[in-house]
Structure 1
Amino acid sequence: MEPIRRHFDHQLPVTLLLDYKETKSPQRELPDHQHDWYEFIYVYGGKGSFFIDQTFYEMHPGDIIVVPGNTVHRGFPDNEEPVTSSALFFSPALIHNHTYSESYSYLKLFDAAKTNKQYKYTLSPEHAEILQNDIDAIHREREQNQPDGGQALTLLLHLTLLHLNRYCLPQAAEPVASSPLLPEWFREALSYINDHLDQPLELSSLAARASISPAHFSRVFKQRLGMNVTDYIATKRIFAAKDSLLQSSYTIEQIAMACGFESLPHFYRTFKRITSMTPAAYRKSNRA
């Protein structure tokens, strides 16, 4: 079964979407999210957990979860008391990092999250109220649908990202405890996959490293992440390839081999299946 992915219309006048104060049951949550856009989630209440890039987090009121583009992630709402949250999705093309006479990175928190593998931050009540007001303002502006709404939404997004940098970045230097929601062998397996995407990653060898049967490894993987081992590895490899396509001058064949694909046709098929684009088209459209 193919994982469900959230698709965004890149032709929209403003590449920004807001799921405002939604309460999602396990039945309404997408199996996994895979997209180029950046995302952050603010939690108002309820219970649940959130998987992103090798780590599970418990979600509590006042929490912020930041999701850089091309990162495998999925929410797991509690059956009895599901999380109520707002999720803001935006294209990084909206962000202007040069302000006044100095350079300022509005995506600094997202960059730090990806570097430090720390994606959850907790706001104080005072700062939580400020961020809630930011989200409310974006929601109101979207509802009004004014002719100059695109400009207003872009300005409000920049202010919100500035607040996230201001209130969350001080926490980025704090040590991160290992997730209590995953068994140690599972954490080690995720880390091994992440560090060896350029090498063969067979279910049998991964299970042997964990000293468990392939059937048990596969079953737990599916239960924990909502996707099977093969799909997870393929998605991680394609995300690595997308980064290389935009950040390097390597040929498509060199990138395919470096990301662990045994042949160029296999890489093309997998890339097209996950992104609905060819590698060449992705590189061209995102470098334009």
Structure 2
Amino acid sequence: MKPIQKQFNVTPSFPFSFVYRDTKTKQRELPDHLHDWYEMVYVHGGRGTFFIDRTFYEMNAGSLFLIPGNTIHRAIPDALDPVTSTAVFFHPILLPLQSLGEPFSYLQSFDRSRLNRTYRLKCSPSLQAALEQSLNEIDRELRASESGVRHAVSLLLQRILLAVHRELGAELRQSSPSPAIGPVWMRDALLHIDEHYSEEIGLHELSRRASVSPAHFSRVFKQLTGMNVTGFIAAKRIIKAKERLLETDLNVAVIAAECGFDNLPHFHRLFKRIVGKTPSAYRRGPER
């Protein structure tokens, strides 16, 4: 199984999507997926596990997950006490660009998540209260759909991002890292894939490094991540290719080779299957 590219059925002039207080089940939860939009997931209650990029996190009340675009992730609700959460999806063009003379950006908390590979924030009681209030107000605005609803939602989103930014400043001064979840050998394998995704690595090498049988490695990897090893490595390569397409002017064939694809037609097929468009179309951006 390869991750799916989540699609958003919204108007291009208002790139925002909102799922309020949704109780998750394994049947209704998306499999491993990725998208270009930014995502916040706030947990109201229940329990579960969140796999993001290369790390497993506990999901419990007061947890906030900050997921930058193009990050593989998958929520796994607890069977007996499933998570109830709110998910906020938005494209950065929804936010103002002006710095107003301050070293501040509404996306700094996501930049921090991407840089440190740390996607979970355990909210303080004050931040929990602020999030609950703002999320409830967004839900009310969207339901009422009065004049100026999009501006109201955009302002509430900005208020949330500012509150999270300030909370992270305090957390960085006095917090300790969240405890890791999952077998040590699995965490080491995910880190190895992350650092060597463009090389020839596969199930047998990874299982040898982990000192477990290939069958056991494959079974546990699929159980925890929802994907097989080949699909996960391919997804990592496609994510890097997306970044290179937007950040450089390199030829598509060069980017494919950099990302570990020695067969250009295969790269094109896989890219379109996961992303939904060809590499050249993705580089051009959304059609006007």
- TM-score range normalised by the length of the shorter chain: over 0.9
| CA deviation vs aligned residue, 1:228-286 (integer Å, no higher than 9, x gap) | 11111111111111111111222211211111111211111111000011111111116
Task: Please tell me whether residue 141 in structure 1 is matched to residue 141 in structure 2.
Answer: yes
Task: Report what 1:105 is aligned to.
Answer: 105
**Matched AA of 2:177:** V
The answer to whether the 8 A contact 1:42-1:86 is kept is yes
The answer to whether the 8 A contact 2:5-2:276 is kept is no
What are structure 2's unaligned runs of at least 5 residues?
Answer: none
Length-normalised TM-score, structure 1: 0.93
Task: Please tell me whether residue 126 in structure 1 is matched to residue 126 in structure 2.
Answer: yes
1:231-246 paired onto structure 2 within 5 Å:
231-246=231-246
The CA distance in 2 between the partners of 1:192 and 1:119, in whole Å, is 19
The answer to whether the 8 A contact 1:65-1:119 is kept is yes
The answer to whether the 8 A contact 1:197-1:259 is kept is yes
Task: Report what 2:177 is aligned to.
Answer: 176
1:1-288 paired onto structure 2 within 5 Å:
1=1, 3-9=3-9, 11-102=11-102, 104-172=104-172, 174-179=175-180, 181-285=181-285
195-204 vs 62-71, greater mean Cα deviation: 195-204
User: How many pairs align?
Assistant: 287
> What SS is found at the alignment partner of 2:33?
coil
The answer to whether the 8 A contact 2:63-2:120 is kept is yes
Displacement of 1:33 after TM fit? Answer: 2.4
**Matched AA of 2:7:** H
> What SS is found at the alignment partner of 1:109?
helix
**Matched AA of 1:61:** A
Distance 1:132 1:177, change over 3 A: closer
The CA distance in 2 between the partners of 1:164 and 1:117, in whole Å, is 17
The CA distance in 2 between the partners of 1:255 and 1:95, in whole Å, is 30
The CA distance in 2 between the partners of 1:230 and 1:202, in whole Å, is 7
User: What is the RMSD of the two structures over their aligned residues, measured on CA atoms?
Assistant: 1.9
The CA distance in 2 between the partners of 1:139 and 1:117, in whole Å, is 30
The answer to whether the 8 A contact 2:218-2:228 is kept is yes
The CA distance in 1 between the partners of 2:196 and 2:232, in whole Å, is 13
The CA distance in 1 between the partners of 2:72 and 2:213, in whole Å, is 25
The answer to whether the 8 A contact 1:38-1:89 is kept is yes
**Matched AA of 2:269:** R
Displacement of 1:170 after TM fit? Answer: 3.0
The CA distance in 1 between the partners of 2:172 and 2:120, in whole Å, is 9
Displacement of 1:147 after TM fit? Answer: 3.9
- Percentage identity across paired residues of the two chains: 45
The CA distance in 2 between the partners of 1:258 and 1:287, in whole Å, is 27
What are structure 1's unaligned runs of at least 5 residues?
Answer: none
The answer to whether the 8 A contact 2:52-2:74 is kept is yes
The answer to whether the 8 A contact 2:2-2:274 is kept is no
| CA deviation vs aligned residue, 1:151-176 (integer Å, no higher than 9, x gap) | 22222211211111111343246442
Q: Which has the higher contact order (CA 8 A, sep 6+)?
A: 2
